[in-house]
Chain A
């Protein structure tokens, strides 16, 4: 059974998720900045910009199967283009 303290903690935690996301992303970006500084690489820009740009993530959207299919299609199109140009 949930204790009074547990319940209070749970209620406090409500709607905290977006804030937790921002905190986690900020912490990761801070760690990334530190890594970049140690590596003499230029990870500059304000945190908001970095956080937004970090949402453009190719790994989410392209797997090996799809990439193979796309590469085959590009080769096929190029071969059709060069033949029709002759």
Chain B
């Protein structure tokens, strides 16, 4: 199928795509017809128009070729239903059919079997690999480190380091963005007065979250990922709450619409932090120089280095496969985020000699007016899925708040559910902490869970049965 695509400018729909300029990209849609157009920043919002007919809920692989007047789109295949189709399409396009855990296990075996030559490379790879495998029994710090250093967030870490490198220039750029946003949001002669109201509201929220602390200190803790009072993780929700303090309801309603339209939470994290500082007029603490050692410890970094240093052979092949598996995970996340789906993180898990891949679906806190309006406490919503051997696929949904932890375990069969239910008190003891209320339950998954333990099939099934896409 081939057809002209309009330049961006049409009415945006819920249909979105993730694209690399000039490369095949996956397109998913919720409207019956949609077309894609490649914009300057390459992250696509697809506009309703004529041309390519797409079936609701299906995924396609589209190749875009930018022309002078318009772009041409060609469907190259990969049509299949649901998120599993997107996953399969992207995996096939990237030549990475293996889940990350399997690719890492093969890399570990290749390292064990490889000859004694290129010892330095092997040792560096072995160390990097060890750091990004979660060993059962380790704590939350180890889990975060395993995910962080697995290469799935490598470019985000480089971007953050780049912002730190920019120093004052980064602050100036954030100021310019804040001014541009304020001008976009406020169609009035008195931008400065409204900007002052936003600043006042932001500061009130920061002071309420951590009474007695300076706004700057509170922001620094918040940027570092700490839970601070009931401060929401979402910048959109934070600003929405700040706007609740403004005096003009007319202005507030208009700003809320603008906030929702711009989707601040999709901005890169360092830019979001700089933007909040600019809007709240909160000065920054001294910047620390980026740690190159931390960046170099990333498994993807080490795999890229090893690919260039190793001679052809089984170890280099395992390195190339592991790289492809990481990239597949990353591109799948690019596509999922563009469609406002929860991110999917693969966590290689080792227990003794047994390797498996845990699938973590982490819902980024996008703008939610209800949360801001009701003042509901901030909570993280996530889901974990794991092939638990004889117990089958087990999914666990978690809602982690400062005062309450809600957890629902979903087993593949009633027999597995019985086993897990009997052990629930043990889990409750592990999760008990202070005065936090804990609510845990076990249920049987609805639908037709996969009987076979083939990891590719299981992963596809899990993505199709994405339990985390749920609203409060």
Contacts and interface: CB of A to CB of B under 8 A. Distances in A.
B398 A22 contact: no
Contact of B364 (A24, A28, A60): A60
Nearest to B334: A52
Contacts of B148: 58-59
Nearest to A48: B42
Given A27-B169, A80-B423, A81-B389, A71 B142 contact: yes
Contacts of A23: 173
A65 B227 contact: yes
A32 B184 CA distance: 30
Given A51-B41, A71-B138, A16 B180 contact: yes
A52 B42 contact: yes
Interface in B402-450: 402, 405, 407, 416, 419-420, 423, 426-427, 430-431
Given A35-B165, A50-B155, A77-B388, A21 B362 contact: no
Given A17-B181, A39-B296, A74 B358 contact: yes
Interface in B136-195: 136-144, 147-148, 152-156, 158-163, 165-166, 169-170, 173-174, 176-177, 179-181, 183-184, 189-192
Most buried by B among A2, A60, A64: A60
B225 A63 contact: yes
B199 to A, nearest CB: 18
Interface in A47-69: 48-69
Contact of A42 (B177, B225, B308, B423): B308
B431 A75 contact: no
Most buried by B among A18, A46, A62: A62
B419 A80 contact: yes
Given A21-B177, A74-B386, A41 B267 contact: no
B79 to A, nearest CB: 23
A20 B170 CA distance: 11
Interface in B315-333: 330-331, 333
10 contacts: A20-B173, A24-B173, A24-B271, A35-B162, A41-B292, A51-B43, A56-B156, A59-B153, A66-B362, A85-B390
Interface of B: 18-21, 40-43, 134, 136-144, 147-148, 152-156, 158-163, 165-166, 169-170, 173-174, 176-177, 179-181, 183-184, 189-192, 225-227, 233, 262, 266-271, 290, 292, 295-296, 301, 304-305, 308, 330-331, 333-334, 337, 343, 345, 349, 351, 358, 360, 362-364, 380, 382, 384, 386, 388-391, 394, 396, 398, 400, 402, 405, 407, 416, 419-420, 423, 426-427, 430-431
Given A28-B271, A30-B162, A61-B382, 19 more contacts: A10-B191, A17-B181, A24-B174, A27-B170, A41-B296, A50-B155, A55-B156, A56-B334, A56-B343, A57-B268, A59-B160, A59-B269, A61-B363, A70-B140, A71-B139, A72-B427, A76-B423, A78-B351, A85-B389
